[in-house]
């Protein structure tokens, strides 16, 4: 008599478990490829193409396209990685907490001028420490090389930074009994000012002016504009 071996039926939990493990593996591999891409950009420059990025990663362009679909997908992944790092640092500055919480709430700063200066320094530190990565994100040569993407991840990152600064301004203005309506506009203006100054600073060579000096110049300009509003009425 033939006997069919007993088989444990596949359950939904088994399928879900395999899917979760595969998704975890996929996310881990994507993270490794983004790290390799950033390394390639730092080594080969902001204009590094897909062939160079794949070579530094020790894999093929096909693997990158499998995980990111196209150049725009890789560009967005790199931009999001850098955005998370800068935004986390910015939020720690604005919240006054050392906790690594991306959504740390803004607080009323005891030294608002100092906090604005620290926020500006958070942005400029990327420009000085990873200039090629900054150029890669802002100038986006990889996208110009053949992507059909119509969105602007760099602009999205700038908008998120502006949102964090605007939140701090709004919290401070509410505490002072001031209309907080201008907070969003001011946040956008402050981040836009710093981005424009950073581009000029980088183009002229960051050694031409110490970062601390540029931070002070920009903080003075920003504070002269909003200082009277945030300072308690006499």
Tell me the whole-structure pTM to 2 decimals.
Answer: 0.75
End-to-end alpha-carbon separation of the chain, Å? 100
pLDDT digits (tens, 9 = 90+) for 53-64: 999 999 999 999
For residue 3, what pLDDT band results from cuts at 50, 70 and 90?
low
Taking alpha carbons only, the member of 140, 127, 120, 117 closest to residue 200 is 127
Is the pLDDT confidence value at 24 over 70?
A: yes
Q: Tokens 């390799």 map to which residue? A: 36
101 pLDDT higher than 60:
no
Instruction: Answer with the residue of higher pLDDT: 93 or 185.
Output: 185
Q: How open is the CA angle 38-191-110, to the nearest 5 degrees?
A: 110
Q: Which structural domain, as residue segments, surrounds residue 50?
A: 12-68
Residue reference for tokens 């300009």: 221
pLDDT in tens, 188-215: 999 999 999 999 999 998 888 999 999 9
Closest listed residue to residue 71, CA positions, set 7, 140, 157, 17: 140
Does position 151 have pLDDT exceeding 70, yes or no? no
Domain boundary among 26, 48, 68: 68
The three-state (H, E, C) secondary structure of the chain, written as one string: CCCCCCCCCCCHHHHHHHHHHHHHHHHHHHHHHHHHHHHHHHHHCCCCCHHHHHHHHCCCHHHHHHHHCCHHHHHHHHHHHHHHHHHHHHHHHHHCCCCCCCCCCCCCCCCHHHHHHHHHHHHHHHHHHCHHHHHHHHHCHHHHCCCCCCCCHHHHHHHHHHHHHHHHHHHHHHHCCCCCCCHHHHHHHHHHHHHHHHHHHHHHCHHHCCHHHHHHHHHHHHHHHHHHHHCCCC
Question: What CATH number did the domain enclosing 64 receive?
Answer: 1.10.10
Q: What percent of the chain has pLDDT over 70?
A: 78
Question: Is pLDDT at 150 greater than 60 in this prediction?
Answer: no
Please check whether residue 7 lies inside any domain of the structure.
no
Sole residue written with tokens 């964090």? 164
Q: Give Cα separations from 142 to 35, 44, 59, 132, 170 (angstroms).
A: 16, 13, 18, 13, 37
pLDDT per residue over 10-19, tens digit each? Answer: 565 555 666 7
pLDDT at 103: 55
The per-residue pLDDT for 125 is: 92
pLDDT band at 95 (very low <50, low <70, confident <90, very high): confident
Number of domains in the chain: 2
Is 180 a domain residue?
yes
Within this chain, do residues 105 and 172 fall inside the same structural domain, yes or no? yes
Mean pLDDT check: name the lowest of 7-21, 81-95, 136-150. 7-21
Same domain, 105 and 181: yes
Region 82-90: what's the mean pLDDT? 85
- The answer to whether residue 1 is domain-embedded is no
Q: How confident is the model at residue 21 (pLDDT cuts 50, 70, 90)?
A: confident
Average confidence score pLDDT of the chain: 82
Distances (CA, A) of 11 to 6, 18, 73, 139, 227: 15, 11, 35, 50, 63
Domain co-membership, 169 together with 57: no
Same domain, 49 and 163: no
């Amino acid at each position: 008599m033939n006997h069919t071996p007993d088989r444990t039926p596949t359950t939904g939990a088994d399928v879900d478990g395999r899917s979760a493990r595969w998704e975890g593996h996929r996310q881990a591999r994507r993270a490794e490829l983004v790290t390799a891409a950033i390394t390639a950009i730092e080594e080969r420059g902001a204009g590094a193409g897909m062939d160079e990025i794949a070579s530094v990663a020790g894999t093929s362009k096909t693997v990158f396209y499998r995980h990111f679909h196209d150049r725009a997908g890789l560009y967005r992944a790199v931009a999001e990685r850098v955005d998370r790092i800068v935004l986390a640092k910015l939020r720690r500055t604005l919240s006054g907490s050392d906790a690594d919480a991306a959504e740390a709430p803004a607080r009323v700063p005891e030294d608002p001028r100092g906090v604005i200066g620290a926020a500006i320094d958070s942005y400029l530190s990327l420009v000085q420490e990873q200039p090629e990565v900054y150029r890669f994100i802002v100038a986006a040569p990889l996208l110009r090389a053949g992507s059909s993407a119509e969105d602007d991840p760099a602009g999205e990152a700038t908008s998120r930074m502006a949102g964090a600064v605007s939140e701090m301004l709004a919290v401070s203005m509410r505490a002072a009994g001031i209309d907080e309506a201008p907070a969003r506009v001011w946040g956008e203006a402050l981040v836009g000012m710093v981005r424009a100054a950073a581009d000029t600073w980088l183009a002229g060579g960051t050694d031409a002016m110490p970062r601390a000096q540029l931070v002070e110049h920009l903080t003075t300009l920003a504070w002269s504009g909003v200082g009277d509003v945030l300072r308690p009425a006499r």
